[in-house]
Structures are given as C-alpha cells and as structure tokens.
Amino acid sequence: MTKKVHQNEPIVTHLYTADPSAHVFDGKLYIYPSHDLDHDGPDNDNGDQYRMEDYHVLSMKSIDGPVEDHDEALHVRDVPWASKQMWAPDAAYKNGTYYFYFPARDHDGVFRIGVATSQSPTGPFKPEENYIEGSYSIDPAVFVDQDNRAYCYFGGLWGGQLEKWQTGTFLPHVEEGPAIDQPAIGPRVAELSEDMLSFKTEPKEISIVDEDGKPIVAGDEDRRYFEGPWIHKYNDYYYLSYSTGTTHKIVYAISKSPEGPFEFKGTILNPVIGWTTHHSIVEFNNKWYLFYHDCSLSDGVNHKRSVKFTELHYNEDGTIQTIDPYKQS
C-alpha cells in the first residue's frame, strides 16, 4: 500500500505504527517501526497496553512519498526465545547483510534483545535461535561508525525494566530507581562483534552530564534519560537523543566518544499527543529529518500511534533547533 505524505502527518494510515528507526540504504529511505495492535486490555506503567507482535518495513524513494509497506518482516511466532511484546526495533547494514534488532519478553517475562538477518533491507528477517547473550531491557539502537565498529545502545525505565538491572543482575521485585538527588539511570552501550550477532564488550552505563560535568540527577525529569536512545553523528560529534518519559520531550546530549560521557544540550521535540515519544534522526538527500510518532490519528489512544516526520535544523554552533510538532509553518 502506498500514499504520498507530508511533514507532520502520519506516513501511513492503514495500520498503527510507532517507534520509527529511519535509515538510508542504497539511496532509499527505510523506516523500521513497531506495529501497534488495537485491544481493550489494561493501560499501565508496565506497558501492558503495548501488545505488538510483528514488524512491517516501510520505504520511501523521496521524502514526500509515496510510502510503500513491505508487509510483515518478522513475527513473534518465528522467534524461539520470545513470548510477547515486540517493541521498538532498529536495523543496520554491515558485512553485506541487513541486521534487524528487536526487544521482546523471553519466556520468563524478562525483556531481552534479539537479532535477525536478511539479504534485503525489507526482510523477511530470519531470527537467531537465542537472544543476544548479556542483553536486557528494550529499545535497541545500532550505530555503525566510520571506522566500521558498531555499537548497540539500549534501555528503558518502568516497563523497560532498567530499574531491575541496577546491580547488573535482574531483580524482579525492584521497582524504584535512584533517589531524586542521585545520578539518573543512564542508557546502556555495548560494542557489537564483527558479525553483529553478539556483544563484543559487556554493556556499560552511559553518563549524561550537565554543562559543568555533573551527572543529570534522577529528579531532573526535563533532562534525565527515560527510554528510546538514538545516536547520530554531525560535525565529528556523537549526538545521543532520547525520551524524557514523564515530561514527554525528545532531548539530546553530545560527546566526542560514542560511549560518552555525553553533555546535555537541549530539547529537540516538544511533547506530542499521547504518552510515549520515540524517534530517530537521519540525513537523506542532504537534509536532516526527525522521525517520531504521536496519537493524533487515534484521538489520543496511547497504544494506537502513527509515525510522522519533520525536517530538523542545526544552528551554526551545532545545537539543534527545538521543534514544535503542531506549529503551522
């Protein structure tokens, strides 16, 4: 199914999509979203309302569409280790292969990160038998650097279970994060092996600091990390962008190293309709774009979201101009 699209409008309307990871492969734009399903179950902080079970891949030859839906690329029934909740995915290209990274609950209810492969950017993707050893939580984002080293960024609070991993071991009954005056929980990063199927290094926590080099604290909900990490590079800086969760912003921090520490810089996207906010940033035909989602198509139903995009602009000093998603240009 195809349709022409415009900025700040849903890129598809025949299904609900969220958590878009956008990439350019061979001059074409591919979007790897999650797929929201309608249901009448509970809506809570554990994320039970997000019952996604499969993935579609979308593509665009130009930024104004049309958008092509390449149908189902992977389903939870095809993943031996996974039980449910195929949440926000990502994709990468290396070694002549397309890699698809996705979170799901294992058969014990613990979120893990899996990987599947294909010779096509649209799939179908064949999953590995087991999840990536040492992986946990949600929202994988994979960045292949100019030196061909690849890194996996991941982690989310609340339903993403990151609080339960504060000791490095899964503690199912832990619900609380650090005290409000203590350093906030940060996303995790692990370098990937050459074959992109395992972690080369143990996951480590990324430090996000203020302009004085002091860690952002847990009570600073306008700046602290919540979920949805994304990495892109601009003018030799690595930009870590992420959702703040409770304050519903997409914000960013920068570093000279892909593993940080990252210095907080500001807000990219003001709050959208709906509770979650999740994004990606991509350069396409010499312009930069922010892909994101909101719930405008469903009149605010949190588990019925739609992917949108808008152009992103940098200032001369490398800072990013804040976007109001509903401001008429």
The catalytic residue positions are 19, 227
What pLDDT does 1 receive? 45
Give 141-178 pLDDT, tens digit per residue. 999 999 999 999 999 999 999 999 999 999 999 999 99
In order of start, what are the domains of the chain with their CATH numbers?
16-312 (2.115.10.20)
- Is the confidence at residue 2, as pLDDT, over 80? no
- The SS3 of residue 80 is coil
User: Whole-angstrom Cα distance, residue 29 to residue 24?
Assistant: 5
Dihedral over alpha carbons 264, 270, 271, 276 (to 10 degrees): -50
The maximal CA–CA distance of the chain, rounded, in angstroms, is 50
Burial class (CB in 10 A: 0-12, 13-18, 19+), 64: exposed
- Is the confidence at residue 239, as pLDDT, over 90? yes
What pLDDT does 302 receive? 86
Under a CB-based contact definition with an 8 Å cutoff, are residues 186 and 120 in contact? no
Residue by residue, DSSP assigns 18-45 as EEEEEEEETTEEEEEEEEE--------T
What mean pLDDT comes out for the span 293-321?
95
What pLDDT does 81 receive? 98
User: Whole-angstrom Cα distance, residue 260 to residue 239?
Assistant: 10
Burial class (CB in 10 A: 0-12, 13-18, 19+), 216: buried
Better-scored residue on pLDDT, 210 or 5: 210
Under a CB-based contact definition with an 8 Å cutoff, are residues 263 and 256 in contact? no
What pLDDT does 5 receive? 81
Stated pTM of the model: 0.96
Classify residue 214 by its DSSP letter. P
Which residues lie across from 233 on neighbouring strands?
A: 238
Q: Whose CA is closest to 136, among 185, 187, 91?
A: 187
Looking at every residue in the chain, the average pLDDT score rounds to 95
